[in-house]
Chains A and B, each alone.
Chain A
């Protein structure tokens, strides 16, 4: 009974430590897309019959994905300037899968020294070639279906390109940051950055094709829920 109690207390402590400070805000918003969505190029997967079989109807390029509600998917949104304090790297790994000869997620954020678990779900050879400028480059061959490897980035960098040389159409981008204040737009074009303490910030959005935009944000405090709107022109 005593051990249970102790455990309970320990858990409570851990949770409270992980919980947002009482006066932290949530930054949410959408990234709109103006103009007509470019026609996605068909990807020739004939380099690898395995990939071709996984996409019997053919696959299209995933560099620009405009959602049905007129928003842009896979935009990396992060606090570029203004964050103070240190944020220890989470021990939970970011999952990065090679599935159907494509990367999932295509764009993601990760903290410095946070483990990145790379998975190969395909029954073919993939190589994961990360090309950071600030951290050590790695290039892993993953010939076995279901195999997993772990890697980390040791310095912040927006963005680190990751590519597969066996399948030249495969590319992904990782935003490596020293803090956890980032998000990626989803199928609704929405993003959310939680637990941001009060302060003056510069928020940047980054898109593989359309580049970066910035906005200044001031969080006054006390559970504020700030809405931000970005917009890219096609």
Chain B
């Protein structure tokens, strides 16, 4: 009887199962190893090695071409000959070398002997001196010893010198035999050096078994050549869903050439970063080790695959291309997606805070300026921009300026009056285009006009006291400075102030006259300055401006709403707080005028008109827009894309919103008061794009102070000044702070343009500048342009003085000028030069010279001592064109020479100083300076 199998299982079956499971295990192991091994980034790194290899090969080829083959052959031939002759002499050289070795031995011995003797000598000398001092009898003994040892030392020294000379001769002989060969070898080396370096590079990059092994699966943990590259940013954190983790940027794992020269034209991801002087290089302000990549570009820095790094396609086309090429998909879970390239500048604002403009961030700066110009800050609170101003005119006195009919036409379609206006379209937009909605919009317009007419004051207007001449008025508008801010009738380019064309269809001559005579009389907070016009000038300007009509606009019928629409609006409002029946009862009690006033007030409140205009009854009203302080990081899920099919990105939504603010209402059923309210500014794509960059720059992201570009006190003062300069448009007329004056674009002769005021802080005395800003006086009588009176407060004037001074690298001091002490002799020379150069020929102000032409109206030199800085006068006299391009003031010292070699030793510097010193003592009523030096002579400013 066969023995029963004691096991409860079948062995063959078990063996089979075991085999199957082992195979599965093996498979999964292989798969694990492979998955760990085959990484996307390795492909890029291999590709980069190939790219580098290609480049190295090209370099090698070039280096080879660079080698002068004939010369190399010749050198090689001569080298071979030299080696041959060297070989022939090999025995002799060897003998020489042997001799030399022997000689060296001998030399060593003698040298040691000489050193020993020197020590004995020192020792005997010491004892001899000691004993002699103490009158010890042993002195004589040591004197004798010293003499002996000295004689011996002298002998050895001579022997040593003889040996050294002999050795030199022998060594030279040996060298001579080899010199020719060595020299040739060096020359050959020199010739092929570049080639050798290139060849070494190629060899290093060439695929080899070693690198293959180092990068092989399972072995690649030891010392792989392909490895993840990363920049660890100590001070920065990434937000991993409420956990702050140290920022690590691994972008350089694939962007391998980003901080290397020579990959400027390489395909991505290997291309060199543009502007290395500004970014990534160690000497730039943004070195890669300190700033990394994602601080500016956003994206997921720790990721090492194309998709996971949260790359953002530039447009739909690129998105499709990426999907096909890289199987790209949007990273749902990573909020800080990479910024499209044209919006990268948005990140500059993270560290560059509290500055009016970020250096070199053109698009961001443009976006900011646009936001300022179009008054975004009026409706939307944005941290850091609270100090901006209302951009529309005050409507406190509007009833004295325009008529109700003009207002309704204007509100219905502002661009039909002035295509260039910045007043946006508020009514009759896409989400209010049904016939019923149109009627409601008309009711709101009529209501607003009625409200403004009733709720504004009647300002006192003066009729032009003298008849105005439109022709003269036009000339004044074109020549006194209006074009610094306004355009009119095709003249001028500045869009800072409103275009003045068509003004005659808007307001009266009395209003224009009163306004230009003193803008602050009509509107105390206006930015429009006072040009100190005479009655005649103001009348002429009024006559001209009211002659400009917009007839097409005048012909548009004024808006006349249906009473039913007015009633509906009142009811809708009442229903917010009352029962329907109560609302109807309330409505029935109201007069038509009361209804209009109510509709007007509620519509102004609803549309937020007071964000840009001062309106009575809305002095304390809160702006209606969303706060934008952190919009650069706005949660994408909080943005309502409505039923519109556009890419779901922040920048996509912002752009669409700016281009067509009401579009997200499309297809939706919404009540009147639920609808989107943002008005349409009619932005071009480019303008909207710049604004998107600005919006993306708004973030509360915490950046450690040490990473920020912090401003010192002077820089802060400069920024305050810059804001004022921007607010009052100084650069409309003056070239300043890197911006050319707008008016220089159309003033033909530079000498007739308002002055360049770059470096003004180093030119004039601060005390004078302060007074001048507060109360300008004529400096350049020949200019038709006038420095207007802006009515700056003391604080504003101070801020501007600081701005100009710090910008020019000067300190602020209101002490006034301390005149340098000068000898009477030098003053005499100054006077002589002053007369020889005939300065007063142009710098002389009297009625007769005013008749002669512009050049005879040069600045009154009497002003100099109170106005100018002594150091500046020196620079000015050297070459006026350098400081004020196109000036009528000639140089009297061309190329550092003087036409008067007999004065002050013909030294131009001394002559200029003498003129300057004389100038600062030049008295108003006499041509001679005060005879005595000034009361408190102090040393010149260093």
Contacts and interface: CB of A to CB of B under 8 A. Distances in A.
B932 interface: no
B881 A138 contact: yes
A141 B892 contact: yes
A38 to B, nearest CB: 22
Contact of A129 (B837, B842, B888): B888
Nearest to B880: A139
Given A47-B852, A144-B899, A168-B852, A124 B838 contact: yes
A58 interface: no
B886 A140 contact: no
Given A139-B881, A168-B855, A125 B887 contact: no
B892 A165 contact: no
A94 interface: no
Interface in A138-162: 138-144, 147, 149, 151
Contacts of B855: 165-166, 168
Nearest to B841: A125
A16 to B, nearest CB: 36
Interface string A42-55: 00001110000000
Nearest to B887: A139
A127 B842 CA distance: 11
Nearest to A147: B899
Contacts of B838: 124-125, 143
A49 to B, nearest CB: 11
Interface size class on chain A is 20 to 34
Nearest to B853: A168
A165 B891 contact: no
A124 B886 CA distance: 23
Interface in B257-298: none
A165 B836 CA distance: 18
B384 interface: no
A147 B900 CA distance: 10
A165 B751 CA distance: 10
B92 interface: no
Contacts of A140: 890-891, 894
A11 to B, nearest CB: 33
B856 interface: yes
A137 B749 CA distance: 12
Contact of A139 (B749, B889, B900): B889
B891 A139 contact: yes
B842 A165 contact: yes
A147 B837 CA distance: 12
A167 to B, nearest CB: 9
B489 interface: no
B837 A125 contact: yes
A128 interface: yes
Given A166-B842, A166-B855, A144 B881 contact: no
A113 to B, nearest CB: 16
A144 to B, nearest CB: 5
Contact of B890 (A46, A47, A141, A168): A141
Interface string B724-764: 00000000000000000000000001010000000000000
B885 interface: yes
Interface of A, secondary structure class, is loop
Given A127-B890, A144-B836, A137 B899 contact: no
A129 B894 CA distance: 13
A61 B900 CA distance: 33
Interface string B893-932: 0100001100000000000000000000000000000000
A141 B887 CA distance: 12
A187 B317 CA distance: 72
B851 to A, nearest CB: 9
Contacts of A131: 749, 886
B890 A128 contact: yes
A143 B892 contact: yes
Contacts of A166: 841-842, 855
A133 to B, nearest CB: 11
Interface string B832-867: 000011100110000000001111100000000000
A127 B892 CA distance: 9
Interface string A165-199: 11010000000000000000000000000000000
A47 B856 CA distance: 9
Interface in A91-133: 124-125, 127-129, 131
Interface centre among B836, B837, B838, B881 (most CB of A within 10 A): B838
Given A125-B837, A138-B881, A149-B894, A143 B899 contact: yes
A224 to B, nearest CB: 42
Given A165-B855, A168-B855, A137 B890 contact: no
> Which interface residue of A125, A165, A166, A168 has the most chain B CB atoms within 10 A?
A165
A141 B899 CA distance: 10
Most A CB atoms within 10 A — which of B854, B856, B887, B890? B890
Contact of A47 (B836, B853, B889): B853
A151 B889 CA distance: 17
Interface string A8-46: 000000000000000000000000000000000000001
Contacts of B889: 139
A115 B442 CA distance: 74
A143 B837 contact: yes
B888 A142 contact: no
B888 A143 contact: no
B881 A137 contact: yes
Contacts of A47: 852-853, 856
B840 to A, nearest CB: 10
Contacts of A143: 836-838, 892, 899
A139 B890 contact: yes
Interface in B339-354: none
Contacts of B852: 46-47, 168
A151 B895 CA distance: 10
Contacts of B881: 137-139
Nearest to A165: B855
Nearest to A47: B852
A133 B460 CA distance: 51
B841 A141 contact: no
A151 B749 CA distance: 22
Contacts of A138: 881, 891, 894
Contacts of A142: 890, 899
A149 B855 CA distance: 22
Contacts of B890: 127-129, 139-142, 165
A129 B885 CA distance: 12
A166 B751 CA distance: 14
Contacts of B836: 143-144
Interface core residue of B881, B889, B899 (most chain A CB under 10 Å): B899
12 contacts: A48-B841, A125-B837, A139-B880, A139-B891, A141-B891, A141-B892, A142-B899, A143-B836, A143-B892, A143-B899, A165-B890, A166-B855
Given A48-B841, A129-B888, A168-B853, 13 more contacts: A47-B853, A124-B838, A127-B888, A139-B887, A139-B890, A140-B891, A140-B894, A141-B837, A143-B837, A151-B894, A165-B751, A165-B842, A168-B852
A-B pairs, top 10 by smallest CB distance, nearest first, are A165-B855, A141-B890, A127-B890, A125-B838, A141-B892, A47-B852, A139-B890, A168-B853, A165-B888, A143-B837
